[in-house]
Structure 1
Amino acid sequence: MQSTELNYPITAPSSSSAMKPQVLAIGEFDGVHRGHQEVIKRARERADSLHISASIMTFHPHPREVLGQCKYTNLLTPVMAKMQLLEQLGVDDTYLVSFNPAFMQVTPEEFVENMLIPMQVNTVIVGFDFTFGYRGAGTPDDLCELAQGRFAVEVIRPFHQNGYKVSSTMVRHHLNSGEIEQANALLGRPYSIIGKVVTGDGRGRTIGFPTANIDLSAAFVIPELGVYAIQCHVNGQAYNGVMNVGKKPTFVENLEKPTLEAHLFDFSESIYGSEVSVDFISYIRPERKFSGVAELVAQISRDVEQAKQLFTSFVVLD
């Protein structure tokens, strides 16, 4: 997959790589959940039928972050994670548009004339709730009208699961509630974070449960505090384990930020400095304060056994 950064407006020849007939799906696609996947799937199908490229236009930073909505400083899929997922879905080209205060002022008409037309789009695919232009004034109907026959527009209906519309907001809600299985069902895959293994306080090793302390590589949404069954991908291999997402109340008071500590089963390698990705498989229990080390160790032992039982009944793909 080729990735190209774009700024408004598009002008030749600096952006000539973007000048080719293509099917273009447009959206923020945070989470790349099952609803997003339907939009991208349709773009791929349309492109294949026309024998042209299937492309994605997405934005960075998240438009709502630029608008000052604080919860969007943390994302389900920061840029590098989103790009990986888009490539896995068979996208040929991705255009990352700089969403800045100047771009916020662009009208729907200007967006079409100065972004889409220079890109020679054959077809634009958007979701039913797509908005564009200043203050989100443009709707899919407006996009159809502004196309003026120069490109086709397809609007994808909402994707429902168990009677509910799949959305990034709903995924966030489940993660913030510790409902990891429900979030994973909406995503169509385990929720995942990426980070580097860093030195911790070393306490886990002294109590018989060494942990990999993970420093996030980007501002991911962190699930509800608690203990999770996980699968950790490191150096091309996948290892089952448990992770505590929390503030270590047994040992620390008023820790400002939660830590991510993963204990991997049957694993003894030194992986300090390695980048790892962690898939959240199941929520085991909330974090709580223990009376001492002995009570904590006993509970971790139960957590490990519960997670191992989960992995015997669930198929987790590498």
Structure 2
Amino acid sequence: MEIIRIHHPLDPRQIPADPVVLAMGFFDGLHRGHQAVIRRAKALAQERHVKLAVLTYDHHPAIVYRALTGDDQKYLSPTDRKLNQLDRMGVDRVFLVNYTGEFSAQSPQAFVDNYLVAFHTVVAVAGFDHTYGKKDVATMARLPQYAQGRFEVETVSEQDSEADKISSTRIRTAMKQGQIDEVNDLLGYLYRTTGTVVHGEARGRTIGFPTANILTPNDEWLPGIGVYTARLKVGAIWYPGMMSVGHNDTFGDNRPVTVEMNLLDFQGNLYGEPVEIEWHHRLRGQVKFAGADELVTQLKKDEVDTRAYFAQVAAE
């Protein structure tokens, strides 16, 4: 997949001369709604025997418009992961635009003239609620007016799950609540994050449940407080286990959130390993136990449930 990184104003010499069907969007998470846009664009590209291209951005547009919150600094798909996902979906070319104040200040007509036409677009494809400027004027309904017959416009309708729109906002809300099963359903795949195994308090090994403590990037969304079934990728191998996101408040109050995984039947030294986490299923919320004995009793039940979960997955 060809990646063309663009800083406004566009240098036309960066752009190959061949025509493309262009899918547009920020595509954070590349959820089922985004996938519908890409699939439609891919079908149109194949019909016209041209390349499939995607126009997307290197960071949240919110950075340009308002003061950041903590949520604005997190992504369901950081740029590298998003590019890998697009590559796996068969995208030929990505126009990765640095979203700046100058870029955002363009009128809708200027954006179309300076970018969509310059990309040699034959069909522009996006979701029904996609905007490319001010929401009241830069709509998909108005895009044919700005296109002026130079390219076609295809709008992909709303994709729903349980009568509600599939959206990155809905997924982020479910993520905060720890509803990873809903997150995975809306994404259409198992959510993943990355991290590095670091030293923790080593308390788990004293109670018979040693854990890999994982330092996670600040820009990636994590599921909310709870205990989950998950897999940990070390090198090329995936290891199943149970993952805790929580404060370990059985051992004290006002503790920081940690991400710890007890791997099933694993022996070895993981310190310093870069890892990938695949989040499967929520087992339960966090509980403050009266002491270590109660915690161990619950962890044994969690282990039984985790083994049963992965046995069922293997049988499917």
Task: Give the TM-score normalised by structure 1.
Answer: 0.93
Pick the aligned partner of 1:63 from 58, 61, 64.
Answer: 61
CA distance in 2, matches of 1:315, 1:95: 39
Amino acid corresponding to residue 56 of structure 1 in structure 2? V
Could you list the runs of 5+ residues in structure 1 that have no partner in the other structure?
Answer: none
Quote how far apart the aligned CAs of 1:136 are. 6.6
CA distance in 2, matches of 1:245, 1:53: 42
**Bigger Cα displacement from structure 2, 61-70 vs 111-120:** 61-70
1:67-95 per-position Cα deviation (integer Å, ceiling 9, x unaligned)? 33522221211112211211111111112
Partner of 1:53: 51
CA distance in 2, matches of 1:150, 1:83: 28
Partner of 2:292: 293
Quote how far apart the aligned CAs of 1:27 are. 0.2
Change (3 A) 1:261 1:316: farther
Partner of 1:138: 138
CA distance in 1, matches of 2:267, 2:2: 38
Change (3 A) 1:100 1:244: same
CA distance in 1, matches of 2:220, 2:178: 15
Amino acid corresponding to residue 79 of structure 2 in structure 1? V
Amino acid corresponding to residue 301 of structure 2 in structure 1? R
1:24-43 per-position Cα deviation (integer Å, ceiling 9, x unaligned)? 10101111110100000111
1:112-143 per-position Cα deviation (integer Å, ceiling 9, x unaligned)? 11111111111111100011124673001221
Q: Please report the RMSD computed on the Cα atoms of aligned residues, expressed in angstroms.
A: 1.9
| Counterpart contact for 2:45–2:51, Cα < 8 Å | yes
Partner of 1:313: 312
Any idea what SS the aligned residue of 2:282 has? strand
CA distance in 1, matches of 2:262, 2:18: 49
Quote how far apart the aligned CAs of 1:315 are. 4.8
Partner of 2:4: 4
Please list, as runs of the form range in 1=range in 2, the aligned pairs for 1:128-207 lying within 5 A after superposition: 128-134=128-134, 137-207=137-207
**Bigger Cα displacement from structure 2, 135-144 vs 55-64:** 135-144
Quote how far apart the aligned CAs of 1:197 are. 1.6
1:180-218 per-position Cα deviation (integer Å, ceiling 9, x unaligned)? 212111111112111122222222222222212212235
Any idea what SS the aligned residue of 1:288 has? coil
| Counterpart contact for 1:23–1:123, Cα < 8 Å | yes
Quote how far apart the aligned CAs of 1:251 are. 2.4
Task: Give the TM-score normalised by structure 2.
Answer: 0.93
| Counterpart contact for 1:106–1:134, Cα < 8 Å | no
Partner of 2:27: 29
| Counterpart contact for 2:15–2:118, Cα < 8 Å | no
CA distance in 2, matches of 1:58, 1:315: 37
Could you list the runs of 5+ residues in structure 2 that have no partner in the other structure?
Answer: none
Percentage identity across paired residues of the two chains? 36
Quote how far apart the aligned CAs of 1:147 are. 0.7
Amino acid corresponding to residue 284 of structure 2 in structure 1? R
| Counterpart contact for 1:128–1:140, Cα < 8 Å | yes
CA distance in 2, matches of 1:247, 1:67: 34
Count, aligned residues: 314
**Bigger Cα displacement from structure 2, 4-13 vs 259-268:** 4-13
| Counterpart contact for 2:233–2:276, Cα < 8 Å | yes
Quote how far apart the aligned CAs of 1:220 are. 1.4
Amino acid corresponding to residue 288 of structure 1 in structure 2? V
Amino acid corresponding to residue 115 of structure 2 in structure 1? M
